[in-house]
Structure 1
Amino acid sequence: MDDLSPSSLKAILHSKRANLYYLEHCRVMQKDGRVLYLTEGKDENYYWNIPIANTTVILLGTGTSITQAAMRMLCSAGVLVGFCGGGGTPLFAGAEIEWLTPQSEYRPTEYVQGWLSFWFDADKRLAVARTFQQSRIDYMRHVWSKDKDLKDNGFYVDDADIEHALSGFAKKIPVLDKVGDLLLAEAQTTKQLYKIAATRCKLTFERNPEQGDLANDFLNHGNYLAYGLAATTLWVLGTPHGFAVMHGKTRRGALVFDVADLIKDAIVLPYAFICAKEKATEQEFRQQILQKFTEHKALDFMFEQVKQAAIGIKD
């Protein structure tokens, strides 16, 4: 097989790519011009191909290693690689979001320049934070109104309790004049959505990332998949992860959290509870989430929101 050029590997735009991988107990390597992962069986080893030109993120979990040659090919295709714990969480490096990002001097500069043009103005940061939260509500309404699987499980966006939670948050957004107050209102709304989802799925639930029950584990796992998409979006647009508009300004990966929040409540939250109710395996949950990310064009939506914020805030 002829070696592929970096330009041909980037032919599929990141916002249109379909694959996000979580791998464990395997070795990632380059062989015959392709990136493969090797798993060891009882009698023989098995090789599986990774279509890197259509891949956004690879999360390497427990018992994984990667060769320098494979990393070189992944970088040439613009694939982000993250080392993480079992089940996709947490990403290693303390509480930071930490990625092995491809080095490129040819990413666009207009978005980072646009982002920095407003970021040092607290009022403009707040305006973008408000826009993100309103877009988050709009995306959730869009997804929940279209998704048949959600409706089959009792999630109807026009139900009184769901509408009350979303409309209540939407009314608060324009009048809150501090990021801290906006964060509090967002947390209260998400807590309401947890209660709604638990009621629909007939589960007893309290949000605790360390709890160890299926719903909490699936929320952790799905959130980190969303972080992967958010990190990809920001890397492609050349925007440093430290220039957050909502989360802590002292956390280097805070903007990843801001962007991931655009889609988490719409997709990760309900399916974490649905899959917990069905006692799905971790792999089944992951496949469900990735399918819904693709179906509802989550990565496209993230790109659109970040680009609009970067070039839409002007003096």
Structure 2
Amino acid sequence: MEQLTDLKAILHSKRANIYYLEKCRVMQKDGRVLYLTEAKEENLYWNIPIANTTVVLLGMGTSITQAAMRMLASAGVLVGFCGTDGTPLLTGTEIEWFTPQSEYRPTEYIQGWLKFWFDDAQRLAVAKRFQHARVQYIQRIWDKDRELKAENFFVDDSAIASALDGYVNSIDTAQKAGDLLQREALLTKQLYRYAAKTTQYSDFTRDHQGNDVANGFLNHGNYLAYGLAATTLWVLGIPHGFAVMHGKTRRGALVFDVADLIKDAIVLPWAFVCAKEKMSKQEFRQQVVLKFTEHKALDFMFEQVKQQALREDLL
């Protein structure tokens, strides 16, 4: 049996797996966490490599035992209940996480975060740095991803270059978080327009309740990004309520701030490409998780949050 002290040997930023499960029972058996599916003639057990897993999403028709939850907690795996295909999550608006408990998570990051968080100007400065990092990540990923280029997504396209340059120039002039949110919304609309045109997805309108494939994939991919963001914050010991951009009174808003670092670079283009290719939700999910891993999205989130928490010039 793997010792509890060995379960966290793999850094969260290096873990490879996100699990979405439905119509099964998650349990502990022989020192392992398994999920049980019922077939016509026999029950099938599948192992979850918890030391290499960041998030387990439990969809429709799932249950989990106390023993399994204890092992997942010891390995630092986040567990959330959600709807079909990972969306919507139970509250409908926010992530509801069972956070594995540990008395030995680091304190330096929450202490650093709180040193600036109560100052409006410093909190806005961090929000701006997040937005600059977001744009740089888009530019880097779209520039080097050969599959995206094959789908005619080019970061040096005049429409994209103009949209990103315009947003970068507007970030530092924002006077409050609300200004950033308005300008960020404009950038995202421009990216939607470019992606829809590139993939010939006609008459696209972003609608979180929409029934079309692209909107469904965007919702689903965003929830996967929220899982990575929640994992990052849990590991670093920073509560989700200490947001820098999405609102001080919105519970869980920091998850949205951190997820925004990678959503436009990865989730947005692949939602449209996979919709064009008529992929299933499972195929889309696999593609997005593959790209998260390929482009080290979790590493990037950790790096950005740690940098802002420990910045000496904000103290």
**Is the structural similarity TM-score above 0.5?**
yes
Code of the aligned partner of 2:233: L
Code of the aligned partner of 2:221: G
Code of the aligned partner of 2:100: P
Is residue 193 of structure 2 the alignment partner of residue 173 of structure 1?
no
- Offset of residue 93 of structure 1: 3.0
How far apart, CA to CA, are the structure 1 residues paired with 2:281 and 2:242? 33
| 2:219 counterpart residue number | 220
Written as runs of structure 1 = structure 2, the 5 A alignment for 1:52-201 is 52-201=50-199
Secondary structure of the residue aligned to 1:265 is: helix
| 1:290 counterpart residue number | 289
Q: Which residue of 1, 5, 8 corresponds with 1:10?
A: 8
- Offset of residue 97 of structure 1: 2.0
- Offset of residue 61 of structure 1: 0.6
Secondary structure of the residue aligned to 1:20 is: strand
Root mean square deviation of aligned Cα: 0.8
**1:209-250 deviation per Cα after TM superposition (whole angstroms, max 9, x unaligned):** 111111000000000000000000000000000000000211
Q: Is the 1:96–1:251 contact (alpha carbons within 8 Å) kept by the matching residues of 2?
A: no
How far apart, CA to CA, are the structure 2 residues paired with 1:211 and 1:8? 44
How far apart, CA to CA, are the structure 2 residues paired with 1:314 and 1:251? 24
Q: Is the 2:54–2:231 contact (alpha carbons within 8 Å) kept by the matching residues of 1?
A: yes
How far apart, CA to CA, are the structure 2 residues paired with 1:69 and 1:27? 12
How far apart, CA to CA, are the structure 2 residues paired with 1:14 and 1:87? 23
| 2:252 counterpart residue number | 253
**1:60-91 deviation per Cα after TM superposition (whole angstroms, max 9, x unaligned):** 01110001111011001000000011111122
Is residue 254 of structure 2 the alignment partner of residue 264 of structure 1?
no
Q: Identity of paired residues, percent? A: 71
Secondary structure of the residue aligned to 2:54 is: strand
Q: Is the 2:229–2:259 contact (alpha carbons within 8 Å) kept by the matching residues of 1?
A: yes
**1:14-42 deviation per Cα after TM superposition (whole angstroms, max 9, x unaligned):** 01001011111111111111111111111
Is residue 314 of structure 2 the alignment partner of residue 314 of structure 1?
yes
**1:160-182 deviation per Cα after TM superposition (whole angstroms, max 9, x unaligned):** 01101111100100111111011
| 2:303 counterpart residue number | 304
Q: Is the 1:35–1:52 contact (alpha carbons within 8 Å) kept by the matching residues of 2?
A: yes
Secondary structure of the residue aligned to 2:98 is: coil
- Offset of residue 314 of structure 1: 2.9
Q: What is the number of equivalent residue pairs in this alignment?
A: 313
How far apart, CA to CA, are the structure 1 residues paired with 2:75 and 2:91? 24
| 1:276 counterpart residue number | 275
4+ long deviations beyond 6 Å: none
Secondary structure of the residue aligned to 1:102 is: coil
